[in-house]
Amino acid sequence: MIREIVTPTNTNFTLKIPKEYVNRQVEILILPLFNENKIKKTKILEVFSRTAGILKDKKIDPLKWQREIRSDRKI
């Protein structure tokens, strides 16, 4: 498999097909690339902002709490 990310500067693009793919069916896709890092960062920031400080006013032992929520598996 070959994957290459390019930024085309016009509507024409020339592909060089590797020898091992000649006389075989190949799939060529053209689709916009979404910035995955931006999406992941946004989701992480959203989760962080929703949960930051959620336990600050509670008198909870963090280790005990962690053991309780993970009681279904060994730590």
Q: What is the pTM of this model?
A: 0.40
Q: Which residue has the tokens 């920031």?
A: 45
* Model pLDDT, residue 20: 92
63 found inside a domain: yes
pLDDT, tens digit (0-9, with 9 covering 90-100), for 14-65:
998 999 999 999 999 998 887 666 656 667 777 777 777 776 767 778 788 7
Domains held by the chain: number: 1
Helices (H), strands (E): how many in the chain? 2, 0
**What is the span of the domain harbouring residue 61?**
34-73
Report d(CA 46, CA 30) in Å as an integer: 31
Report d(CA 69, CA 60) in Å as an integer: 13
5 found inside a domain: no
